[in-house]
Amino acid sequence: MQKQFKGLTSQEVLESRRTHGENVLTPPVRESWWKLYLEKYDDPVIRILLIAACIAFLVGLAHNEYVEAVGIVVAVFLATTMAFVNEYKAGREFDILNQVNDDVEFKVIRDGEYRSVSKKELVVGDILLLETGEEVPADAVVEEAVALQVDESTLTGESKAVSKFPEDDPRGAEKREAGAYPPHRVYRGTMVQDGHGVFCIESVGDATEIGKTAREASAVSEERTPLSRQLDGLSKVIGVVGFGIAAVLFAVLSVHAALVGEIVMERGQWIFALILIVSVLVALVRVWLPIVYDFFDVIRRPKTRPGWLQQEGITAWLKPLLYGAVFFALASGAAWTLSALPSSPSNFLDADAGRRFLQFFMIAITL
């Protein structure tokens, strides 16, 4: 005997919405656009290129040539801006897609009449009617079903559709233990693959099964999966090999240029170049030192990283830059006092030699 459904009254709909909330999933918290943009500068390569731009600018001061410095800055700006725009645009399009999806209408019975209401207006207790090809908009209990087949792959990963029956249907008893979910319930995000049915909504919004899953997925977890550990190991190997090749290449190019006479400097200029290189290494310690620790991890002799190296934030990056500048000032001042440097600051570093070092640096980083 077919059931008679009257559905909720208008007053009951309001009461249900106040009690259980709307049928809307809480969107994930998104960072502000300026934070999203600044994150693009977290890439060590971007930071190295910015340092290279500063070095190119200082070298260009000697002959008023700033083309290389400007070129590096423009390249960094374009790379970071394009990455930011693509990520920001993707986030906006995802939000718009969700908003449009919430406006899709479904058939319900309210006040004894058939009505069409949007997904976000559905409430707990609504009598919902679904047919083949429609998405299940909320978690519900099957009241009536005719050859009902539901695709639950969004929740279970199983491509084969499962049969659904009312709770008092004896055909559902034998399938109760076989499936991941009870045969008399349907869940938001699944699809009606065949047949049709009548349902009573029991959970909406974040209280649905997919809402709980999304909330758990967005929570920060300290547990590392085997795949994530393997990917971390691979990235460490790539970083160590890449950094090693870059360092060796820079050293080989510099030594070769000095031996063949492409770089000709006096003793004091070589001392200044050494001071400059050490200062840059101090300033960029947060870039290359983690790679050194990664090397020990790769060879399975891990070392404990110091606390200051694990700190995050702009202050953690500004401190090494400040230390590098202080070291450069003190070392240069001491060397000049001891007459180890040329008498004129304009002769501390040969402009052509400085340009050569910068070229070798950019070649090593690029490769």
Largest CA distance in the chain: 107
Q: Are residues 185 and 262 in the same domain?
A: no
Q: Are residues 210 and 359 in the same domain?
A: no
| Exposure class string for 102-111: b at 16+ Cβ within 10 A, else e | beeebebbbe
Work out how many domains the chain is built from and give that number: 2
| CA distance linking residue 144 with residue 198, whole number of Å | 5
Q: Are residues 185 and 242 in the same domain?
A: no
Q: Are residues 172 and 120 in the same domain?
A: yes
> Which 3 state secondary structure label does DSSP give 344?
coil
Give the pLDDT score at 224: 60
| CA distance linking residue 311 with residue 51, whole number of Å | 21
φ, ψ for residue 193, nearest 5 deg: -85, -30
> Percentage helix, strand, coil, to 5, in the chain?
55, 15, 30
Domain boundary residue, one of 190, 220, 250: 220
State both tokens at 189.
Answer: 């995000």
> Which 3 state secondary structure label does DSSP give 268?
helix
| Residue 56 CB partners (closer than 8 Å, separation 6+) | 66, 68, 69, 72, 358
| CA distance linking residue 166 with residue 343, whole number of Å | 95
CB of 204 closer than 8 Å to CB of 138: yes
Q: Are residues 333 and 195 in the same domain?
A: no
The boundaries of the domain holding residue 157 are 1-220
Q: Are residues 214 and 257 in the same domain?
A: no
Domain boundary residue, one of 197, 220, 243: 220
Opening angle at CA 155, ends 189 and 130, nearest 5? 35
Q: Are residues 212 and 343 in the same domain?
A: no
Q: Are residues 261 and 208 in the same domain?
A: no
Q: Are residues 231 and 196 in the same domain?
A: no
Q: At what angle do helices 351-366 and 67-102 cross, to 10 degrees?
A: 30
Q: Are residues 165 and 106 in the same domain?
A: yes
Q: What is the CATH number of the domain that holds 81?
A: 2.70.150.10
Domain boundary residue, one of 220, 242, 272: 220
Q: Across the 367 residues of the chain, what is the mean pLDDT of every consecutive 10-residue run?
A: 79 94 83 81 73 71 72 88 88 73 91 92 94 94 93 86 87 61 91 94 92 72 65 81 86 90 88 88 86 89 88 82 92 91 81 79 72
Counting Cα atoms < 13 Å in the Cβ hemisphere of 142 gives: 27
> Which 3 state secondary structure label does DSSP give 146?
strand
Q: Are residues 45 and 99 in the same domain?
A: yes
Give the pLDDT score at 177: 55
| CA distance linking residue 215 with residue 232, whole number of Å | 25
Q: Are residues 180 and 78 in the same domain?
A: yes
